[in-house]
Amino acid sequence: MTDTAGPLIVQSDRTLLLEVDHPDAEACRADIAPFAELERSPEHVHTYRLSSLGLWNASAAGHDAEQVVDALLRWSRYAVPQALLVDVAEVMARYGRLRLEVDEVHGLVLRSTDLAVLTEVLRAKAVAPLVGPQIAADTVVVPRGERGRLKQALLKAGWPAEDLAGYVDGTAHPIVLHEGRGFDLRPYQRQAVDAFFAGGSGAIVLPCGAGKTLVALAAMARASARTLILVTNTVAARQWRAELLARTSLTEDEVGEYSGERKEIRPVTLATYQILTTRRREVYTHLELFSAEDWGLVIYDEVHLLPAPVFRMTAEIQSRRRLGLTATLVREDGREGDVFSLIGPKRYDAPWRDIEAQGWIAPARCTEVRVTLTDEERMSYALAEAEERYRVGATARSKVAVVEALSAEAVAHGEPTLVIGQYIDQIEALAERLGAPLITGKTPTRERERLYQAFRTGEEMLLVVSKVANFSIDLPEASVAIQVSGAFGSRQEEAQRLGRILRPKRDGRQAHFFAVVARDTNDQEFAARRQRFLAEQGYAYEIVDAEAVLDAAAARARDARRGELPPPTP
Amino acid sequence: MGSAAARKSPAPNKEWPGLAATLAAFGDEALSRLLSLRPDLARPAPHDLSALASRAGAWPSARDAFHRLDRAAQRVVEALCLLDEPTTLAELASTLDVDDADADLASALARLGERALAFVTDGPHAAVRLLSALRQLDYPARLGPPLRSMTAGPPALTLDQVAVRLGALPTRATPATVASVAAMLADPATIERVVAEGPPGTADLARRIATEGPLVRVEGGAYRVDDRTPAGWLLNRRLLAVVDYFTAVMPREPALALRGGHPFPPGSLRRPGLAVALVDAEVVDRSAAEQALLVAAEVAALLELWDAEPAVLLKAGGLGVREVHKVAKLIGSTDLRAARIVDLAALAGLVAADAMAGLALPTIASDAWRALEGPARWAHLAGAWVASDVHLFLAGAISSKDKPIPPLLNRAPERDAPRRRRSVLAVLEAAVAGTAPDGLGVHHRVDWESPALWAGGPASPPVLVSWVLQEAELLGVAALGSLSTAGRAMVAGRPDDATSELARLTPATVADFVVQADLSAVVAGEPAVAMRAELDLLADVESKGAATVYRFSEASLRRAFDTGRTADDIVGFLERHATRGVPQPLAYLVTDLGRRFGNVRVGPVTSYVRSDDPALLAEVLATRRAAGLRLRRLAPTVAVTHVAASTVTATLQAAGYLPAQEDVDGAVVLARPPARRAPARRTPARHTAPEPDVATIVAGLHRRLPPAGTGSARAAPPRTSPPPVSPVAMARPTQIAKDPWAVRALLDAACEEFWLVRLSYVDSQGRSSELTVEPTDVEGDRLYANCFPRGNQRTFVIDVVEWARVLTEAEEDQLA
């Protein structure tokens, strides 16, 4: 065999398999990370995927095909499929053939060194209406307003344009990051900020808990201009506000909130996706926000959730510097290409496990607890209508005892614990049974914030939350999460939910995620998907029977009665 | 071409010792070579040299030998046809526009010599002799007959008119006019002038006929002509002569004049050069290996697919678009490639169409193939391809009906396909490793080497050549236009070397894998066969290539339980092979499935006995007279048996019970049908006769000259014991005649008596066929006969009649 015993296996279906325990694995990972997207990172073999977008991201970051081919050949254990190498070169050569530039006379222009390519794209139906007159063989004028849409169209046509047209600085507004006062930028956060400013606009991909907000604050300080921050909901907006006030020189008067309740436009303004997508008579009424100020920076929190209308608005503001923050570029709606063309290419990415290994994220253990339903519950499950089945299985009463045992044990060990559920009836009943506060969509914001605060300070050890807890809330001390029912295995949701308990803990305790699942129902099928996703992210996964949990709890209770010390958590 | 009469008795050449004498001067080696180059001469084995000479000198054999020549040798033959006998070497060389000592000419003559088609006689006046039969060639060098042999013309047209039109003064004497017309038509200046003066297009037409002719179709007929059309203009001036109503021919002289006096374009004898591109031999080997393993994997996937679900054939035969698409989806390729993969599997005998069932299925042979490792699998495919009489790329090509040709169509085999393939592969083989001959160059080369091979195929010659080249790339025999090391070994007939060479480039066979908590398993290399078979059962393949990624799922594991694996078997297998241990979730999943598997039981039963009274049922079961029913109790109130309901009823009635039979309602018992297998395909070499054993034949030839005075090569074989031919009616012989003289006697008699004869005849391709004929005449070594039942007249060489027998009267009646 002529293998070089490298850590990488290049498959002809464009997946790259990286053997994690190989001595060269880290060096190889550093070489391939710029152009390949980490798809799965289970314990032994990580899977990367070569996609056109990924290769273009690499091109945008200044890598060329030669480097990519070289990296593949250098680390590959077996012969690299020739067709794949040819394809890599071909795809990468497509980026940058077209450039958006500023011409002194004509303003924004699309220019190409390759006349054939320019001719091809100009003839495309989707592109033609977006460009103005051709002023030279290699140059065509682009109306300012079409900059974003043109980039979208060109990406779809397979010839992504490099945007060199620059940005307006926006109205300056001094912002200073209070580094050293209780926090410091971690090295990778610094790298992310540098990469962002080197590239112009784009997305920074960091896992939950890795401090994306801090990266954004540092970017704001670097830009020192008026900033618009788009976040998923009001709770998140409040948290951003708190962070801004605590960690930067910004004062209450400088930070505005543009939401359903308040419509303040200030040098730094927080707006929710919800308000932006509100329509009155088919018209988006809050669009003026984008042009209300001479913004120097627009930040998109959780860019993978960005609603489609916001893309449309973003297309209008291509001359503003844009920063996207996310834990994953994978979108359920497949609009990764829009993120690429409208927000910008990926500027920084660090695999979760690497950050975890550096100690920034607490490692989590995942345990699936299988509850055997009573005969009665099985019968009602069997007889339920197809669309009702999941609810019937997921909300089975048999789960209650298990949740009780798990949460009692966690609280007994001083672990801040969240119980998460989808169905209001179920979590209301659970909250009552566990004697814990309940947070749902109906809970007033003020009350919600109070409870979160109490949870943070340790006043409350146990919270029962509905899926409102899924996005952009900050619960630094939650170290155990117990999920009793969940949406249908959406990958994003899993990432978010796990993100809740992945926050670094001061004493480095291990976070624990429990999923309570009804055996032999489709609840279990969804759990299987969850298992796959979490395992793909590299988390230890275990399946146990509810009986084992209950027996252990009973034994502990017995021991406790005898006055003995409880044994440590398994 | 000459008439049939001319073909029957060509003028023997008096000054030449004759073919038999010439062959007698051949050594054993030369004779062997002759027989291997013209294999039809050896079928059936000739008895002596004169029989051999007679066969070799006969038109059909000579014609076939001519068609199998390369272009240079053909040109030499054509040049000889244009010249008078005896021909000096100098004349020949000048006709061909080369030097006397030209190496290409010498080697072409040598090739003709060893095929006994032309001979160079020694001596002061070195002469070249062409086998006289070859003088019957149609239009050598695409030149028409000389003017002097032509008389026909439009009826109203006299030679005088032609002479006037050409611008000559008519003379009284016809011979003088003929001479003057001939001289003018041979004069380039006159011809140029004549074609230039014609209506527009005349010059183009004349030049086209001169180079591509000599025949041309005349629209509107060759007899109603006038000077207004180019063809008419030429006809009126004898640049064209009428052949039949719609066809005209250009005489030799004006065509030669239009060719500038040279019958052949310059460099005709030269073998076309081959432009090569430089390629990296290592890259070629790796790319080809990658392709080779891919193709083997795709065929394997196809077999798996059809194992589970045989493909349904179209009514008209062949595999429909939908089935092809299914295969394409499975192997992740285009429909076109999928069609070829299907045909590849078919030509390798791994799948076959079961026309009776209308299904395409894996064959019995496929099971053995599947037990092989990747490289050996490939060697089987590549070996089958090299020898196959199917053009793989015909599948998916556009048929004459403008539709793509479906795969698995039971097409007639292409007899020439293996030779075509070999001739292209030979060009690649001759190229040094690290060079890739240019595709068009390969076409020119193989076309030069054996022009006849490429004519009459299912596509034009350049397309056929490109098919072979692309097939080689598909198979991974070649890559980047160059043979890989393994491919080279395969082509050279060393499959074992090819296999080991491919094995060298194959990712190492590994017998272990890594299982991860996301229920995936990664085999970092080529999985060992046994392990792969088990993994294929337990898990689904997610990604294939140098490594294989499997995914366990409930469905895939259930499949394993279905085939009788237990949870312990599965966990045991995983523990044996998984180097990093079995993750807890997978072990849990297997155990959990094991727990649930079989909770619902299904089994075949013919009838049941039920009673609401468990005690009564217990009594029935205990009855001795019902013991033969072998009732089995499923529940207190139900018992089942494999005995038919009517029998059970009768038995129970006999035992004194009052059973009531219930209707069958619903529930069909399904059993998994056993995997079906199509019968193995017939061996690919179905129509080729066994190679004659040349050495034995040569040894057996009587090395003696034919008797003096019978110098002609056409002398009939001597009759050692001529049978008496009775003038009175003979009784029908019942024996089968096998010796040539006996056959001849039988045929002679059959002619006289109007008997029908059944005979076996070896044709020029060496195929023997049996047919019934009505002999009409025996002349020399020929039999003229009408074939039954079509009644077409055929000529048979008596020498190659293997056997003959007279039909009985009863048989004749049946035919009538």
Residue pLDDT, tens place only, B274-300? 888 888 888 888 888 888 988 998 999
When pLDDT is averaged across residues A188-207 and rounded to a whole number, the result is 85
When pLDDT is averaged across residues B699-723 and rounded to a whole number, the result is 48
8 Å CB contact of A42 and B520: yes
The rounded distance, in Å, linking the Cα atoms of A506 and A476 is 10
Instruction: Please report the residues numbered 308 through 367 in chain B whose beta carbons come closer than 8 angstroms to any beta carbon of chain A.
Output: 332
Contacts of B546 in chain A (CB under 8 A): 9-11, 77-79
Tell how strand A268-272 and strand A255-258 pair up.
parallel
Contacts of A533 in chain B (CB under 8 A): 518
pLDDT at residue B331, rounded to an integer = 82
* pLDDT tier at A216, thresholds 50, 70, 90: very high
- Whether B593 contacts chain A with CB within 8 A: no
ipTM, two decimals, is 0.78
* pLDDT tier at B704, thresholds 50, 70, 90: very low
Q: Which residue of A has its CA nearest to B506?
A: A1
* pLDDT tier at A359, thresholds 50, 70, 90: low
8 Å CB contact of A13 and B543: yes
Q: Which residue has the higher pLDDT, B360 or B719?
A: B360
Q: Which residue of A has its CA nearest to B591?
A: A543
The beta-carbon contacts of A187-195 under 8 Å, at least 24 apart in sequence, are A188/A348, A188/A350, A188/A355, A188/A358, A189/A214, A189/A215, A189/A218, A190/A218, A191/A348, A192/A347, A192/A348, A193/A218, A193/A219, A193/A222, A195/A61, A195/A347, A195/A348
Which of B286, B517, B544 faces A43 most closely, judged by CB atoms? B517
- Peptide bond preceding A143: is omega within 30 degrees of 0, i.e. cis? no
Residue pLDDT, tens place only, A86-98? 888 888 888 888 8
Residue pLDDT, tens place only, B43-79? 777 777 778 888 888 888 888 888 888 888 888 888 8
Contacts of B525 in chain A (CB under 8 A): 78
When pLDDT is averaged across residues A291-310 and rounded to a whole number, the result is 83
Mean pLDDT of chain B: 79
Q: Which residue of A has its CA nearest to B283?
A: A82
pLDDT at residue B48, rounded to an integer = 78
Q: How many CA atoms lie within 13 A of B478 on its CB side?
A: 29
- Identify the residue whose tokens are 């930067």: A248
8 Å CB contact of A45 and B332: no
pLDDT at residue A217, rounded to an integer = 92
Give A399 to chain B, closest Cα distance, Å.
19
Residues 6+ apart with CB under 8 A from A51: A14, A37
pLDDT at position B580 over 90: no
DSSP string, B605-670: -SEEEE-S-HHHHHHHHH-GGGGGG--EEEETTEEEESS-HHHHHHHHHHTT----PPPP-S----
When pLDDT is averaged across residues B198-206 and rounded to a whole number, the result is 82
The rounded distance, in Å, linking the Cα atoms of B800 and B770 is 12
Could you tell me how many residues make up chain A?
570
Query: Which of B500, B518, B558 to substitute to test the interface with A, most A CBs within 10 Å?
Result: B518
pLDDT at residue A369, rounded to an integer = 92
Whole-number Cα distances in Å, A337 to A158, A160, B259, B321, B593 = 11, 10, 65, 34, 41
Q: Which residue of B has its CA nearest to A44?
A: B516
pLDDT at residue B158, rounded to an integer = 67
Lowest mean pLDDT among A132-141, A463-472, B2-11, B580-589: B2-11
8 Å CB contact of A77 and B283: no
Residue pLDDT, tens place only, A322-347? 999 887 776 767 778 888 888 888 88
The rounded distance, in Å, linking the Cα atoms of B209 and B199 is 16
8 Å CB contact of A543 and B584: yes
Q: For residues B520, B524, B530 and B536, what is the CA-based torsion angle, rounded to 10 degrees?
A: 30
- Whether B525 contacts chain A with CB within 8 A: yes
The rounded distance, in Å, linking the Cα atoms of A231 and A258 is 11
Instruction: Please report the residues numbered 284 through 303 in chain B whose beta carbons come closer than 8 angstroms to any beta carbon of chain A.
Output: 286-287, 289-290, 294
The rounded distance, in Å, linking the Cα atoms of B148 and B252 is 10
Give B303 to chain A, closest Cα distance, Å.
21
Residues 6+ apart with CB under 8 A from A388: none
pLDDT at residue B574, rounded to an integer = 92
- Within A164-272, where are the H helices? 187-199, 212-223, 234-247
Task: Retrieve residue B294's tokens.
Answer: 């891919």
Instruction: Please report the residues numbered 148 through 207 in chain A whose beta carbons come closer than 8 angstroms to any beta carbon of chain B.
Output: none
Which of B283, B505, B584 faces A82 most closely, judged by CB atoms? B283
- Whether A69 contacts chain B with CB within 8 A: no
Residue pLDDT, tens place only, A386-407? 888 888 888 888 899 999 999 9
Contacts of A363 in chain B (CB under 8 A): none
Instruction: Please report the residues numbered 491 through 520 in chain B whose beta carbons come closer than 8 angstroms to any beta carbon of chain A.
Output: 504-508, 514, 516-520
8 Å CB contact of B522 and A536: no
When pLDDT is averaged across residues A452-474 and rounded to a whole number, the result is 76
DSSP state of A281: T
pLDDT at position B265 over 90: no
pLDDT at residue A501, rounded to an integer = 60
The CA-CA-CA angle for residues B269, B271, B273, to 5°, reads: 140
Q: Which residues on neighbouring strands pair with residue A308, listed in sequence order?
A: none
When pLDDT is averaged across residues B639-659 and rounded to a whole number, the result is 84
Contacts of B519 in chain A (CB under 8 A): 531-532, 535
Q: Which residue of B has its CA nearest to A20?
A: B514
Q: Which residue has the higher pLDDT, A419 or B14?
A: A419
When pLDDT is averaged across residues A212-237 and rounded to a whole number, the result is 88
Mean pLDDT of chain A: 82
pLDDT at residue A503, rounded to an integer = 59
Residue pLDDT, tens place only, A55-106? 888 888 788 888 898 899 888 888 788 778 888 888 888 888 888 888 888 8
When pLDDT is averaged across residues A460-472 and rounded to a whole number, the result is 74
pLDDT at residue B24, rounded to an integer = 77
Give A558 to chain B, closest Cα distance, Å.
29
Lowest mean pLDDT among A352-356, B120-124, B206-210: A352-356
The rounded distance, in Å, linking the Cα atoms of B686 and B390 is 12
pLDDT at position B6 over 80: no
Residue pLDDT, tens place only, B466-494? 899 999 999 989 888 888 889 999 888 89
The rounded distance, in Å, linking the Cα atoms of B97 and B75 is 11
Which of B290, B517, B525 faces A42 most closely, judged by CB atoms? B517
Which of A3, A11, A540 faces B517 most closely, judged by CB atoms? A540
When pLDDT is averaged across residues A114-134 and rounded to a whole number, the result is 85
Which of A2, A12, A542 faces B585 most closely, judged by CB atoms? A542
Count other Cβ atoms within 10 Å, centred on residue B331: 20
Residue pLDDT, tens place only, B79-123? 888 887 778 888 888 888 888 778 888 888 888 888 888 888 776
